Amino acid sequence: MISVHLLTPFPDMVNAIINESILKIAEKKEMVKYTVHNLFSYADPPHHRIDDYPFGGGSGMIMKPEPLSRAIEESTKDVNPGDRVRVIFPTPDGKVLSHATSEELSKADRLIFINGHYKGIDQRIRDRYVTDEISIGDYVLTGGELPTMVILDTVIRLIPGVLNTYESAETDSFANELLDFAHYTRPEEFDGMIVPEILLSGHHQKIATWRLDNQLEKTKKNRPDLFKKYLEPKEESE
Ligand code: ADE
């Protein structure tokens, strides 16, 4: 069972997402346990401030180190020796998320997500605790909750047994080098549009070829960078 700790000033945002769909199913199947920490409850009374002005001046507020440090310590207090713990800070100045990173994180025993707000968090928290600084793309969101949920979703669905057939995660786009092929279901004709005949033929080899062609065509059009990589000769691994 993977233990996930979510540190946030907005617990409702996080709860809204972990209480539905795959993230919830994973919890019901006892494959994951979520603990949501409200950062305000780790801040000093009487004002319970979690942010302050930046040293050196400049615009925007910075999240104070003490509430974050206390919440991280609380999230790690019952870690067993040998447990693989990752402290993740979603941030636009991090490494861009990839399928490989999600796979790696899905093998951890404990994931701690720091949901940043305002202009950022005190660098000393990053220096002391954070193991993974992850960006979900070259754009800026208002807070860390949405990127955290994106990262978490990509990780949880990779835990064997969470999806009905692990296969359905293995054949996703990015699980291999090409984008996913087109999918169809009933009815065979919808509003004048028909399902490609090969898919109805029951001929497995022809279906596989059609799907690969479809993947190649889509990858070439939507992701020329991936297509180029796919065509490059593979390095021999010994
Ligand atoms: N926080 C704000 N923007 C972000 C991004 N693009 N990725 C991860 N965390 C963020």
Our CA angle for 23, 87, 32, nearest 5°, is 25
CATH number for the domain that contains residue 215:
1.10.1270.20
Our CA angle for 155, 159, 163, nearest 5°, is 100
Say yes or no: 152 and 176 in one domain: no
Asked whether residue 237 is assigned to any structural domain, the reply reads no
As given in the structure block, the two tokens for residue 179 are 């984008």
Q: Is 140 touching ligand 1 by the criterion CB < 6 Å?
A: yes
Give SS3 for 147: helix
Q: Which DSSP helix (H) or strand (E) runs through 14?
A: helix 11-18
Block residue for tokens 């786009």: 173
Distances in whole angstroms, Cα of residue 197 to Cα of each of 148, 157, 217: 42, 32, 18
Domain of residue 22, residue span: 2-156
Asked whether residue 236 is assigned to any structural domain, the reply reads no
What is the number of domains present in the chain? 2
Say yes or no: 146 and 179 in one domain: no
Asked whether residue 165 is assigned to any structural domain, the reply reads no
Among residues 101, 133, 156, which one ends one of the domains?
Answer: 156
Say yes or no: 51 and 146 in one domain: yes
Atom of ligand 1 nearest to the CA of 139: 6
Give SS3 for 46: coil
Atom of ligand 1 nearest to the CA of 137: 6
Q: Is 137 touching ligand 1 by the criterion CB < 6 Å?
A: yes
Residue 17 backbone phi and psi in degrees, to 5: -90, -40
Among 128, 115, 111, residue whose Cα is nearest residue 40: 115
CATH number for the domain that contains residue 111:
3.40.1280.10
Say yes or no: 151 and 59 in one domain: yes
Q: Is 9 touching ligand 1 by the criterion CB < 6 Å?
A: no
Say yes or no: 82 and 150 in one domain: yes
C-alpha 113 – ligand 1 centre gap (Å): 13
Identity at 211, one-letter amino acid code: R
181-210 pLDDT, tens digit each? 999 999 999 999 999 999 999 999 999 999
C-alpha 94 – ligand 1 centre gap (Å): 8
pLDDT value of position 238 = 46
Say yes or no: 26 and 108 in one domain: yes
pTM assigned to the model: 0.93
Say yes or no: 136 and 98 in one domain: yes
Q: Is 135 touching ligand 1 by the criterion CB < 6 Å?
A: yes
3-41 pLDDT, tens digit each? 999 999 999 999 999 999 999 999 999 999 999 999 999
Say yes or no: 121 and 151 in one domain: yes
